[in-house]
Amino acid sequence: MYAKLLEKVVADRPDLAQYAEFFQQLGEENNADESRTKELEAKLHKVSSIARQLQKDLRGALAELDDFAKALGACECWGADNRCPVCQGKGQVGFYKPDRLLFYKLIFPALAAMPWIEVKEI
């Protein structure tokens, strides 16, 4: 529709032809910019979705790691953070009493599967 309007203007006023060409180029650039904007918005949406899923996966992995620390009697920092407000970097494996239920759920099956270790229930 815009192109037809410009054609009419040029037909009626040939002296404005150079301006009509300029406006037509602007319109084409604007269409290209709009197309590029839509493409970038789609990419941003996809990247944002992936980032949200990665954050969710990371939270899940950290929660599992915390459970392993509790099962082994370690602080959530594993004794690696001297600035840890809970253990001041001393909370390595065995620093705290291991969580019995988590130990039997997470650690005991691995120990029982090792033929060179004799595992007896405590």
Q: Is 11 exposed, middle or buried (0-12, 13-18, 19+ CB in 10 A)?
A: exposed
For position 70, what pLDDT does the model report? 98
Provide the whole-model pTM.
Answer: 0.62
For position 2, what pLDDT does the model report? 57
For position 91, what pLDDT does the model report? 96
Could you give the C-alpha distances from 35 to 1, 40, 42, 87, 105, in angstroms and in order? 18, 9, 11, 55, 54
The answer on pLDDT for 102 being more than 60 is yes
- Residue 81 binned pLDDT confidence (cut-offs 50, 70, 90): very high
The answer on pLDDT for 50 being more than 80 is yes
For position 14, what pLDDT does the model report? 74
